Amino acid sequence: MKNTTLCYLTRDDKVLMLHRTKKHNDVNEGKWIGVGGHVESGESKEMCVRREVWEETGLTLKSLKYRGVIDFLPDKFESERMFLYTSDEFAGEMHECDEGDLKWVEKDQVKSLDLWEGDRIFLKYLVEEAPFFHLKLNYQGDKLVSSELMPRVILASQSPRRRELLEQIDIFPEIIPADVEEFTLETEPSAVVEDLSTQKANATLLKLLRSGQHASDKPVIIIAADTVVVSDGRILGKPASHEKAFEMISALQGRTHEVYTGVTLFFLGSSDGRPALTNRKTFSEMTQVSVYPMSEAEIRAYADSDEPMDKAGAYGIQGSFGKNIREIHGDYTNVVGLPVGRVWNEIKGLWGCN
């Protein structure tokens, strides 16, 4: 499956549309679409959309909103995963595009253009300011034969690592971080992370309900997690300073420690037309991690970098600290911050997803 991006730029109740009329052997020939293109090797989604908009329009994006993921599943061509964005702030002088004609179109006139049928579906979501969505579109030739809106998944965390882990297993979450003070009366590591993950799930659920953005006819999954490192029975959270990071790494080097991640899953459906918590699950996973001996200079160099400052135990196994890991026993993704194998299987078991 190839990865692409698409962006709709808006200003003064108008949308910038591209009429694909110039490109040879263009699968989109004659259609009106947004601006975008293929994600190149080593390029992030955001880097791609910014580059494509600049190349095709001459405009530099100043703001960017990630709105959804569209899976195109045709019978004749390679499948495509498109990352959908909008922007209402940009700069520069617009130039001609070598793939078609650019035109600012009144929002209420977009639906009268020659659009792909699947595009009409997700453009409606964009106009309605729908929350982040994942849509699958099945085509036979040029005909849309089915569309499926995937369950809305909310990650109660701003952690890019947890988001990336979920995206690796084709779960594309909306981010609604839990604003909670991480305090618990529990003392056992597994109980600590399970309690904190439950607090986060509850906080995000409350934010969702207060926002009024929960449509009762659409299922929702909330995923909340908390991770701690345990050394000699002592729980190590995120370091408050580089000196604290140095102390934590000093305690871990040359030894084996444990990483615990607690996860809480909330499943929301509807009851009498109102949102309702229909199921829930809380669990924790533990992974043992052994670290090679490190010199004081090595510890100091790592502790003084930015990498340890937002991570439990003051290290990230997926970063440069990986060179100091001798072995692990258990789930690697649990150490990164979310045991995605367990998460996926709990979701399957409780909701019957495939």
Active site residues: 226
For residue 283, the cross-strand partners are: 263
How far is Cα 80 from Cα 312, in angstroms, rounded to an integer?
37
| HEC per residue, the chain | CEEEEEEEEEECCEEEEEECCCCCCCCCCCCEECEEEECCCCCCHHHHHHHHHHHHHCCEECCCEEEEEEEEEECCCCCEEEEEEEECCEECCCCCECCEEEEEEEHHHHHHCCCCHHHHHHHHHHHCCCCCEEEEEEEECCEEEEEEECCEEEECCCCHHHHHHHHHCCCCCEECCCCCCCCCCCCCHHHHHHHHHHHHHHHHHHHHHHHCCCCCCCCEEEEEEEEEEEECCEEECCCCCHHHHHHHHHHHCCCEEEEEEEEEEEEEEEECCEEEEEEEEEEEEEEEEEECCCCHHHHHHHHCCCHHHHCHHHCCCCCHHHHHEEEEECCHHHHHCCCHHHHHHHHHHHHCCC
Pairing state of beta strands 143-149 and 101-106?
Answer: unpaired
How far is Cα 128 from Cα 257, in angstroms, rounded to an integer?
49
Q: Is 61 exposed, middle or buried (0-12, 13-18, 19+ CB in 10 A)?
A: buried
